[in-house]
Structure 1
Amino acid sequence: MRKFVRAALFPIIVVASAAGATQQQPGQEFGAFLTGQLVADGKISDYVSGSTRTMQVKIKGEARGATLSLVEEMAYSDGEKRKFVWKFTKENGEYIGQRPDLIGKAKVAQNGDRVDIAYRANVVLPNGREQALDFVETLTFRGPGAAKLEIKVSKFFIPVAGAALDVKKLASAQ
């Protein structure tokens, strides 16, 4: 089950790191926060097996007009590495996230310093089969260049995994 949850959590960080919305808190504007270099450190937990592992995510964001592209490189404490690329587009005043493994699009909504992100993704299991999982993420800005990310992963409304990370914009990118 650990491999199942590991696969389920791979798409999480990019979407959460790319959260945008219609309302912006001064000093924490969506595009400005994610443009440049960021790093996220934290841990993920598999509620089924009870296992936990740490991870670090390096994020590079580039804005061009109404499009924000993010490249994410993840390194887990067990040596596993992953890379993902996301595209966020501003449509009708809101940001919408796209990635090949999503079922539909990531929906992003901001209220003050809190950004909520919800989406469903196909997760490839170790046996090659795909499993649809639901993700609910909350990104809370904690001051200039910093945010806290909490993630909940479920299957049929049953929690299967969660993650907590601190996201920081690197000094050279602030």
Structure 2
Amino acid sequence: MTTRRHVLCALIAGPAVLAGCAGPKVVDYAEQRPRLELDRYFNGRIRAHGIFQKRSGEVARRFTVIMDCRWEGNQGVLDEAFTYSDGTKQRRVWHLTKLDGGRYVGRADDVVGEARGQESGNAFRWNYTLRLPVDGKEYEVQFDDWMFLVDEQVMLNRATMSKFGITLGEVLLSFTKE
């Protein structure tokens, strides 16, 4: 009886585990152009427009972001000023370090630990844990953040937000260099 349960559990869990490994990798975009150089794109003023969608697909928030970005050598600062559709404002200042091989690490006050990312071709994938304030409490949520350079001015961003492996929603953004 116990052996049957183990086999049944393996049959049920196996496809879920494999599906988790089957997603795209940033290196899959190595041949895509135009080539994204994160430190070059995020240099100067950037304007972004975005939405947050709940997992049901409902748009819960709309927002704009003005980013003032600068680099000195391999050290970058992305100063983000968010304005939400309900009038609330938020600021996040990223401190990035460019490493060898198109890799980046970053920190911000509301990021738990260190964000890690990799660029390849026209894509950048960024993973981090964010302390998110909701109704007077803070929750730590994980972000799987993808950016794709469309042309020299426009980049699109899709970030999946999850907790305990369960998707909570998605953030969609369009960046435009000024």
Letter in 2 for 1:164: L
Within 5 Å, which residues of 2 pair with 1:22-41?
28-41=36-49
Look up the match of 1:119.
128
Residues of 1 paired with 2:33 and 2:107: CA distance?
Answer: 24
Look up the match of 2:175.
167
Residues of 1 paired with 2:34 and 2:171: CA distance?
Answer: 27
Higher helix share: 2
Residues of 2 paired with 1:41 and 1:110: CA distance?
Answer: 22
Matched residue SS, 1:75: strand
Contact 1:24–1:110 (8 Å) recurs in 2: no
Q: 1:53 to 1:122 in 2, by over 3 A?
A: closer
Contact 2:53–2:61 (8 Å) recurs in 1: yes
Look up the match of 1:8.
none
Task: State which of 138, 155, 161 in structure 2 corresponds to 1:130.
Answer: 138
Calculate the TM-score normalised by the size of structure 1.
0.76
Point out where structure 2 has 5 or more consecutive residues left out of the alignment: 1-30
Q: 1:121 to 1:42 in 2, by over 3 A?
A: closer
Look up the match of 2:96.
88
Contact 2:37–2:119 (8 Å) recurs in 1: no
Larger radius of gyration: 2
Task: State which of 52, 65, 71 in structure 2 corresponds to 1:44.
Answer: 52
Residues of 1 paired with 2:57 and 2:47: CA distance?
Answer: 28
Look up the match of 1:9.
none
How many residues are aligned here? 148
Residues of 1 paired with 2:84 and 2:48: CA distance?
Answer: 12
Look up the match of 1:12.
none
Contact 1:44–1:54 (8 Å) recurs in 2: yes
Residues of 1 paired with 2:134 and 2:91: CA distance?
Answer: 17
How big is the shift at 1:26? 5.4
Structure with the greater relative contact order (CA < 8 A, sep ≥ 6): 1 or 2? 1
Residues of 2 paired with 1:107 and 1:141: CA distance?
Answer: 19
Point out where structure 1 has 5 or more consecutive residues left out of the alignment: 1-22
Residues of 2 paired with 1:119 and 1:60: CA distance?
Answer: 21
Contact 2:92–2:109 (8 Å) recurs in 1: no
How big is the shift at 1:53? 2.4
Letter in 1 for 2:105: I
Give CA deviations for 1:24-79 in whole Å, capped at 9, x if unaligned. Answer: 96563221211100011121123379452221110110111110101101111111
